[in-house]
Every structure is written in C-alpha cells, then in structure tokens.
Amino acid sequence: DGGITQSPKYLFRKEGQNVTLSCEQNLNHDAMYWYRQDPGQGLRLIYYSQIVNDFQKGDIAEGYSVSREKKESFPLTVTSAQKNPTAFYLCASSGTSGNEQFFGPGTRLTVL
C-alpha cells in the first residue's frame, strides 16, 4: 500500500539528548515536510525539502536538523538546542502535480 510511515509512534528521551524521528514515503513524491503540533494548536512548519539533497528552513527550524539523502526518506533530528521539544511531530509529502499534502500518523515525543 502507498503511504507515509513515521516511527516510532511514541518516543521518550531525557533532556539534553538528541533524537531522530523517521519519515518514509512510497508515493514517489518529490516534496516532504515536517510540522510540529502542540496541544490544541495548529501545525507549524519546521523544515521542508522539494528535492533530494536540498531542504529549507520553515517557520520554527531552530533546534532541529534534517537530511534528504533519498527521495523516500526525510528524517528529523531534534537536538538538545530545542528548548521545548515535547510535541506531536507530523511528516507530510506532496507530488509535483498539485498542492495536496498527505500526512503520516505522527510521532509523539516526550522529553523527560
């Protein structure tokens, strides 16, 4: 089945540790995105990539890093520099034919 997968669903980390969230898609989409969602809030863009080996900062990139070495994969690293990392993280992708973004199931990160 075509779709976007994120793993793990739940992630716990100690303060000060870096953590990497996985996002994989088999939709053959060129563009991929990472969003952060806080309780009761909308989606805020962290990073996006329109093509392999290229990515751009979104509205809240500080404390995060990404890579795009393969078309199918767009991992997000939450670094120790992110002051408030506990949140729900959503990955999305879109093709070149339209503006519709399709989302993965999300990863809930809790930093203890």
Q: Where on the chain is the footprint of other proteins (CB under 8 A)?
A: 4, 6, 31, 40-43, 45, 48, 50, 56, 59, 88, 90, 92, 94, 98-106, 108
Shortest separation between residue 68's beta carbon and other proteins, angstroms: 14
Q: Which residues pair with 103 in a beta bridge?
A: 92
Give the nearer residue to other proteins in terms of CB position, either 60 or 79.
60
Shortest separation between residue 61's beta carbon and other proteins, angstroms: 14
What gap in Å lies between CA 86 and CA 28, rounded to an integer?
30
Q: State whether the Cα torsion 59-60-63-65 is positive or negative.
A: negative
Residues 6+ apart with CB under 8 A from 59: 44, 45, 46
Shortest separation between residue 39's beta carbon and other proteins, angstroms: 11
Give the nearer residue to other proteins in terms of CB position, either 20 or 56.
56
CB 74 within 8 A of CB 50: no
Shortest separation between residue 63's beta carbon and other proteins, angstroms: 19
